[in-house]
Amino acid sequence: MAPVVDALRLRRHLDVRVCVTAQHREMLDQVLTLFGIVPDFDLDLMRQRQDLAELTSAVILGMRDVLRQCRPSLVLVHGDTTTSFAATLAAFYEGIPVGHVEAGLRTKNVYAPWPEELNRRLTAVMTTLHFAPTDGARRNLLAEGVPGDAVWVTGNTVVDALLRVVQMIESDAEIRHGMKHRFSFLTPDKRTILVTGHRRESFGGGFEQICDALKTLSERGDVEIVYPVHMNPNVSEPVNRTLGGQPNIFLLPPLEYLPFVYLMGRSSLILTDSGGIQEEAPTLRKPVLVMRETTERPEAVDAAAVKLVGTTSARIVAESARLLDDASEYARMSAGTNPYGDGLAADRIAAVVAAEFR
């Protein structure tokens, strides 16, 4: 949302306020600093081992108070988080229209990703302005009965944010030097596999399989695996138990956005269950293997930049080896264009909002 905030603030007739819930405090603060955003409201809701019912109710109550204080003409939410759904519900209860950025993504399975798929669907039925990143997302919304004149295809703002940070890295020698020093444990004669994993539907057996696959891949000798490990104990416990101390595997704490973008650029292959990375990596021409059974982002699969491999160890290893050993397959997956936008999504969203509130 950072590029959207900036684009809206360029429209002088709009009074833009930023509210954060801090559903993920550590990840939030570094992004706010990176993009120079100071929230007007900070609900600071993150609690250890907080379940979804507790988080949802806290967001609704916190947002209720914020909305009653500032009475906005429009609330903008993003994506599929519990924060987005609950903030939308709070706005609905207060009779305030909602604009949904990154609207219309669907797997059509409410249990995968869980609870994100349901969050998106519930947000949609309460939304007034739908900002769909792709034509496919727009078609999903129209199929659900959303009027065509309430949907705008804008591209995805994640591409805007990514390109801005890439430009920061490329234009600042001090940043590049700092990143090389920070990740000096990586060696130039080995290819880097970057891994992220945190999806709830993979807790338990799924993460055990993922860890087994990474351990097997690390035994190749020609790769180094970098895994910033999510703090959720359902992730960190199996990861550290299985992969801690393994040669060629570097387990890191969660990374700030800028160093993570640097690592994406340096990597040869990305293994992930993240939605955003499926949109970012094609811009950097990095093949992505998605360790999930479904994706709400089929455009990248159709563009051959992303492949679904599930959470079975044998398949993750086989598909990774195919890309590492088959130059033609690697070239095919890294050659496509990004179907998620050109870096101008935030400007398109801001133009629609500004026109609605002249």
In the residue annotation, 26 being an active-site residue is answered as no
Same domain, 347 and 327: no
Whether 256 maps to a domain, the answer reads: yes
Q: Among residues 340, 320, 219, which one has the least CA distance to residue 269? A: 320
The model's confidence at residue 86, banded by pLDDT at 50, 70 and 90, is very high
Whether 166 maps to a domain, the answer reads: no
Whether 72 maps to a domain, the answer reads: yes
What pLDDT, on the 0 to 100 scale, is given for residue 129? 98
Whether 109 maps to a domain, the answer reads: yes
Whether 164 maps to a domain, the answer reads: no
Convert the pLDDT of each residue in 304-319 to its tens digit: 899 999 999 999 999 9
Q: Which one of 6, 42, 106, 116 is the catalytic residue? A: 116
Whether 277 maps to a domain, the answer reads: yes
Same domain, 31 and 98: yes
In the residue annotation, 102 being an active-site residue is answered as yes
Q: Which of 121-135, 281-295, 331-345 has the highest mean pLDDT?
A: 121-135
DSSP-based helix, strand, coil % in the chain, nearest 5: 50, 10, 35
Same domain, 210 and 328: yes
In the residue annotation, 230 being an active-site residue is answered as yes
pLDDT at 66 over 90: yes
What pLDDT, on the 0 to 100 scale, is given for residue 225? 97
What pLDDT, on the 0 to 100 scale, is given for residue 189? 92
pLDDT at 47 over 80: yes
Q: Which one of 106, 200, 266, 348 is the catalytic residue? A: 200
Whether 228 maps to a domain, the answer reads: yes
* In contact, 256 and 69? CB cutoff 8 Å: no
- Please give the C-alpha separations between residue 348 and each of 25, 30, 47, 50, 54, in angstroms, as whole numbers: 29, 26, 36, 36, 35
- Please give the C-alpha separations between residue 23 and each of 83, 135, 196, 258, 290, in angstroms, as whole numbers: 7, 30, 19, 20, 24
Same domain, 34 and 137: yes
Same domain, 147 and 294: no
Q: Which one of 78, 100, 120, 198 is the catalytic residue? A: 198
In the residue annotation, 198 being an active-site residue is answered as yes
Q: Calculate Rg over the CA atoms of the chain.
A: 20
Phi, psi of 288 (to 5 degrees): -125, 130
Compute the distance between CA of residue 196 and CA of residue 190 in angstroms, rounded to an integer.
19
What pLDDT, on the 0 to 100 scale, is given for residue 203? 76
Compute the distance between CA of residue 355 and CA of residue 357 in angstroms, rounded to an integer.
5
What pLDDT, on the 0 to 100 scale, is given for residue 104? 97
* In contact, 15 and 176? CB cutoff 8 Å: no
What pLDDT, on the 0 to 100 scale, is given for residue 94? 98
Mean pLDDT of the chain: 93
pLDDT at 46 over 90: no
Q: Which one of 138, 230, 292, 348 is the catalytic residue? A: 230
Compute the distance between CA of residue 252 and CA of residue 191 in angstroms, rounded to an integer.
18
pLDDT at 238 over 90: no
Cα torsion 91, 96, 99, 103 to 10°: value is 50
Compute the distance between CA of residue 358 and CA of residue 344 in angstroms, rounded to an integer.
21
Same domain, 208 and 328: yes
pLDDT, average across residues 242-271: 94
If one compares 293 and 204, the residue with the highest pLDDT of the two is: 293
Q: Which one of 6, 42, 78, 80 is the catalytic residue? A: 80
If one compares 125 and 28, the residue with the highest pLDDT of the two is: 125
What pLDDT, on the 0 to 100 scale, is given for residue 339? 87
Convert the pLDDT of each residue in 103-146 to its tens digit: 999 999 999 888 999 999 999 999 999 999 999 999 999 999 99
Which residue type is seen at 49? Answer: R
pLDDT at 337 over 80: no
Q: Residue 229: which residues within 8 A CB-CB, separation 6 or more?
A: 235, 236, 239, 240, 251, 252, 253, 254
Convert the pLDDT of each residue in 190-225 to its tens digit: 999 999 987 777 777 888 999 999 999 999 989 999
Same domain, 183 and 315: yes
What pLDDT, on the 0 to 100 scale, is given for residue 232? 79
Q: Which one of 6, 102, 319, 347 is the catalytic residue? A: 102
User: The domain that contains 123 carries what CATH number?
Assistant: 3.40.50.2000
Same domain, 182 and 320: yes
pLDDT at 185 over 90: yes
Got the DSSP string for 169-198? HHH-HHHHHHHHHHTTTS-TTSEEEEE---
Give CA angle at 278 (197, 97), nearest 5°.
100
Domain of 14, in residue numbers: 2-155+343-356
Same domain, 316 and 190: yes
Whether 128 maps to a domain, the answer reads: yes
Domain tally, the chain: 2
If one compares 250 and 49, the residue with the highest pLDDT of the two is: 250
Same domain, 177 and 323: yes
Give CA angle at 247 (244, 250), nearest 5°.
55
Same domain, 11 and 53: yes
Same domain, 195 and 307: yes
Q: How far apart are the first and last CA of the chain?
A: 22
What pLDDT, on the 0 to 100 scale, is given for residue 37? 96
